[in-house]
Amino acid sequence: MRYRREIDGLRALAVLSVLLFHAGVPVLRGGFVGVDVFFVISGYLITGILDEALQRGSFSLRAFYVQRARRILPALFAMMLVTMPFAWLVMLPQDLKAFAKSLVATPILASNLLFFLAGGYFDKSAELTPLLHTWSLAVEGQYYLLFPLLLLAVHRFGAHWITGILAALTALSLALAQLSLQGHPMFSFYFLPPRAFEILVGALVHRWLAGRHAALPPGRVIQEAGSFAGLALVAFAVLAFDDNTPSPGLYTLVPVLGAALIVAFANPPTMVGRLLATPALVGIGLISYSVYLWHQPLFALIRLYTLAPLGAQVGSLACIAAMVLGYASWRWIEQPFRQRKTVAGRPFTAAYVLTGLLLMGVGVAGYASNGDEARWLNQRATPDQAIAYRLLMQAKKSSPVYIPANRVDDGRCVFDAQDLAPAVVSRILQCATTHPDGVAVLGDSHSTNLFDVLYFNPSRRFNFLVGITRNGCNLHGATPGCPFAAFVRLVHDHPGVFRQVIYENAGWVMLRSRQGPVGDGIAMLAQQQRLEGISSDQRLIDGNVSDLAALSGDVDVLWVGPHDDPQVSDQARIRNGCARGVSWRPGQREVYAQLDRQLAAAVLAAGKPHLRYLSARQLYQFALPADFGDCERVLWFDTDHFSTVGERYFSRRLDPVVQFVNRVADSTASRGGNVDEKPGQ
């Protein structure tokens, strides 16, 4: 294929967007779309390489696979080998065990499957995962394995057949991506079938350029307009998207079509073409693959070492270091290994196999040793760190929040479920025939803790207590898979099944910072660092109030407000040791107090007699370090959830809620209606 400098310039924009996004630059909240741009470029280039080889009659699957391996694997394996000792130095056993799994998955192009099973790309904890970025290499690698086989199969039918099949596959992939967002967003994000449309759009651009466009190229005005529109679309996505933007799907067409327009129309004479062909951008584009490889482990290891965000100064230095490492990797690893005369075919294959086996062997050993846990506990950890680690790991194993098997179920009418499966609905309706005191707890993982706190409270007299709690689920704008719409229908279709619904969701869900949703990012701050630039998400608050107000038309609803969270990361609490107390960050409690007041005011303004708000933070009155834990017990098993010990420890503090629900149950049982008492009266 003819070399196009402007394609390297586009690569530079893509890698810089990703680099600065992961460095935490606030204005580039959509910088992750740089990966989508890379996919389009890959589709264009790979299709061109394959088409030309097929037309010449010189196509060889083996040669193509070797060429791709020479392009991708040497720099990838070098990065992994260098990352391993630093990961061993700064990671705790639990993190090292997860890293070990990625060492096994990456060489066999399965890291996208691993990270799909592990969690979300936009979780703040993902910032501590050195090889997270290899999911995109796995997607591309899987495409490289399958796409040549497809072209070989349809090539004999002619160009129109090829283009038609590619267009159909593009539409099917896009439809699958959009549909998967509704129930399986992580599948849509990490897997090839819903991602393929991005690469196939690039393939279609090459088919168009090689076909009708070659015979009748568009005029200068169209080229200028098309390339400028493409650049505007990519820039818009980088600046306007954030981690709440559904991706991949219809929204992803913005950067994908933008990249496609640039590839199609940004020829050297155009303004965009000249911009992208500038030496600085071309130079960055040439080393973009290596820069992409090195930036994630570098950023993750710095965060793990400092247990703090990168910040402007450190982030700038980290970006420069990523560029330097990227250049070194391109100059002394990528370039030599791409030349057959430097490393012949058989030695290269042998080196690839042996290095891959070495990486996977280290990964298997790391996983089998539980992240080198015994050595860390006996040789590297202080006694206080070892105690903190053991207590925390024990708390995680017994947690009902992330281990459904540990959820409360008395075998009768007190149980916590994650959904409203037919068996759960049948059980609820059966319990309603024998118990007039039905209480439902609804919400996210915090409501799982709330359910247990109510269960353990010795003052509880209601014997029909059901939890419909699911991690990450909030009533308003419920994420796919949440059972809340089904619960609302159940309450509406079966009046009187429940006398009381208690709702809770995490406070940080309703908080925003300049970078977007707060998430568990507070835990990434140093303990002495002030919380700044955080405000409440009024739209989400109003949506929750509206949904709860509608629900209160069928049943009495009590919104138990969010409690304060210590937000201390596992890494920080273990590194500090069990004997070292923690305190609130400056401004942390003020942020939650302001949110609490806004929620109470919003519920009051709704004016619904059967919708009430209760400040949980005022009932719990957490005091650190006493309410955090010590060298004998762990009260929080992560940044913001009670341990099972903590659930029992804090259960008496919700006596006002239990007493209120007791009175509601007693009154409705005797009078057959709701009461207008307020909690605590």
From residue 645, give the alpha-carbon distance in Å to each of 363, 551, 628, 636: 34, 33, 11, 8
Same domain, residue pair 142 and 72 = yes
Say if strands 511-513 and 535-536 run parallel, antiparallel, or are unpaired. Answer: antiparallel
Structural domain of residue 308, as residue ranges?
5-368
pLDDT band of residue 674 (cuts 50, 70, 90) is very low
Number of domains in the chain: 2
**Helix spans in 445-563 (H):** 445-456, 484-493, 538-551
- The pLDDT tens digits for 127-154 are 889 999 999 999 999 999 999 999 888 8
Contact (CB, 8 A) for 453 and 443: no
Contact (CB, 8 A) for 144 and 72: no
Tokens of 145: 């394995």
Residue 378 lies in a domain: no
User: pLDDT at position 27, please?
Assistant: 85
d(CA 168, CA 145): 20
3-state secondary structure of 17: helix
The candidate with the shortest Cα–Cα distance to 661, out of 500, 503, 432, 450, is 500
pLDDT band of residue 402 (cuts 50, 70, 90) is confident
Residue 404: is its pLDDT beyond 80? yes
Contact (CB, 8 A) for 202 and 44: yes
The amino acid that residue 59 corresponds to is F
Contact (CB, 8 A) for 101 and 363: yes
Q: Quick one: which H or E segment has residue 629?
A: none
User: pLDDT at position 671, please?
Assistant: 47
Residue 519: is its pLDDT beyond 70? no
d(CA 511, CA 321): 33
**Helix spans in 184-270 (H):** 185-190, 192-210, 212-215, 220-240, 253-265
d(CA 26, CA 43): 30
Residue 170: is its pLDDT beyond 90? yes
The amino acid that residue 244 corresponds to is N
Tokens of 262: 């640039």
Same domain, residue pair 57 and 165 = yes
d(CA 567, CA 536): 18
Tokens of 285: 């584009």
Same domain, residue pair 358 and 412 = no
Could you tell me if residue 307 is left (phi over 0), alpha (psi between -120 and 50 degrees) or otherwise beta? left
d(CA 363, CA 369): 10
Same domain, residue pair 362 and 409 = no
Range from 36-50, 369-383, 528-542 carrying the lowest mean pLDDT: 528-542
User: pLDDT at position 681, please?
Assistant: 41
Same domain, residue pair 436 and 319 = no
- The pLDDT tens digits for 546-567 are 999 999 999 999 999 999 999 9
- The pLDDT tens digits for 255-265 are 999 999 999 99
Residue 676 lies in a domain: no
Q: In the listed set 368, 391, 425, which residue is the last one of a domain according to the structure? A: 368
Residue 660 lies in a domain: yes
> 622-661: b or e for each residue (b if 16 or more CB lie within 10 Å)?
bebeebbbbeeebbbbbbbbbbbbbbbbbbebbebbbbbb
d(CA 643, CA 41): 48
- The pLDDT tens digits for 615-670 are 999 999 999 999 999 999 999 999 999 999 999 999 999 998 898 888 866 665 55
Q: What is the mean pLDDT of residues 227-238?
A: 97
Residue with tokens 């925003």: 512
The candidate with the shortest Cα–Cα distance to 146, out of 112, 109, 178, 188, is 109
- The pLDDT tens digits for 31-79 are 999 999 999 999 999 999 998 888 888 888 988 998 999 999 999 999 9
Residue 9 lies in a domain: yes
Residue with tokens 């559904």: 246
Q: What is the mean pLDDT of residues 20-33?
A: 91
Tokens of 11: 């690569």
User: pLDDT at position 159, please?
Assistant: 74
Residue with tokens 């090829």: 162
Residue 192 lies in a domain: yes
Q: What is the mean pLDDT of residues 364-388?
A: 96
- The pLDDT tens digits for 318-348 are 999 999 999 999 999 999 888 777 666 778 8
Burial class (CB in 10 A: 0-12, 13-18, 19+), 61: exposed
In this structure, the number of other CB atoms found within 10 A of the CB of residue 30 comes to 25
Highest-pLDDT range among 27-31, 171-175, 402-406 = 171-175
Q: What is the mean pLDDT of residues 606-619?
A: 94
Tokens of 582: 């923690």
Q: What is the mean pLDDT of residues 591-620?
A: 95
User: pLDDT at position 141, please?
Assistant: 96
- The pLDDT tens digits for 441-450 are 999 999 999 9
pLDDT band of residue 522 (cuts 50, 70, 90) is confident
d(CA 634, CA 390): 10
From residue 20, give the alpha-carbon distance in Å to each of 26, 101, 311: 9, 27, 12
User: pLDDT at position 418, please?
Assistant: 87
3-state secondary structure of 380: helix
Q: Tell me the whole-structure pTM to 2 decimals.
A: 0.87
Same domain, residue pair 364 and 410 = no
In this structure, the number of other CB atoms found within 10 A of the CB of residue 363 comes to 22
User: pLDDT at position 346, please?
Assistant: 79
Same domain, residue pair 351 and 409 = no
Same domain, residue pair 190 and 318 = yes
**To 10 degrees, what angle do helices 111-118 and 93-105 make?**
140
pLDDT band of residue 452 (cuts 50, 70, 90) is very high
Share of the chain above pLDDT 90, in %: 70
First to last CA, the chain: 79
Residue 680: is its pLDDT beyond 70? no
Residue 389 lies in a domain: no
**To 10 degrees, what angle do helices 111-118 and 134-154 make?**
130
Q: What CATH code is carried by the domain that includes residue 484?
A: 3.40.50.1110
User: pLDDT at position 678, please?
Assistant: 47
- Tell whether the torsion through CA atoms of 179, 242, 76 and 376 is positive or negative: negative
Tokens of 417: 């479920």
Same domain, residue pair 353 and 423 = no
From residue 608, give the alpha-carbon distance in Å to each of 175, 186, 528, 650: 41, 38, 42, 30
User: pLDDT at position 172, please?
Assistant: 97
d(CA 630, CA 511): 29
Same domain, residue pair 319 and 429 = no
**Sheet containing 500-504: order of strands:** 414-417, 465-469, 439-443, 500-504, 556-560, 611-614
Beta-bridged to residue 512, according to DSSP, are 517, 535
Tell me how far the alpha carbon of residue 20 is from its chain's centroid. 18
Q: In the listed set 348, 368, 388, which residue is the last one of a domain according to the structure? A: 368
In this structure, the number of other CB atoms found within 10 A of the CB of residue 418 comes to 18
Q: In the listed set 311, 343, 368, which residue is the last one of a domain according to the structure? A: 368
pLDDT band of residue 409 (cuts 50, 70, 90) is very high
Q: What is the mean pLDDT of residues 170-180?
A: 96
d(CA 31, CA 49): 28
What's the whole-number average pLDDT of the chain? 90
Q: Residue length, the chain?
A: 681
Same domain, residue pair 186 and 274 = yes
Q: Quick one: which H or E segment has residue 118?
A: helix 111-118
> 278-312: b or e for each residue (b if 16 or more CB lie within 10 Å)?
eeebbbbbbbbbbbbbbbbbbbbbbbbeebebbee
Same domain, residue pair 343 and 409 = no
The candidate with the shortest Cα–Cα distance to 491, out of 563, 412, 438, is 438
3-state secondary structure of 410: coil
Q: What is the mean pLDDT of residues 220-245?
A: 93
Residue 569 lies in a domain: no
Residue 681 lies in a domain: no
- Tell whether the torsion through CA atoms of 378, 383, 388 and 391 is positive or negative: positive
Contacts of 601 (CB under 8 A, 6+ apart): none
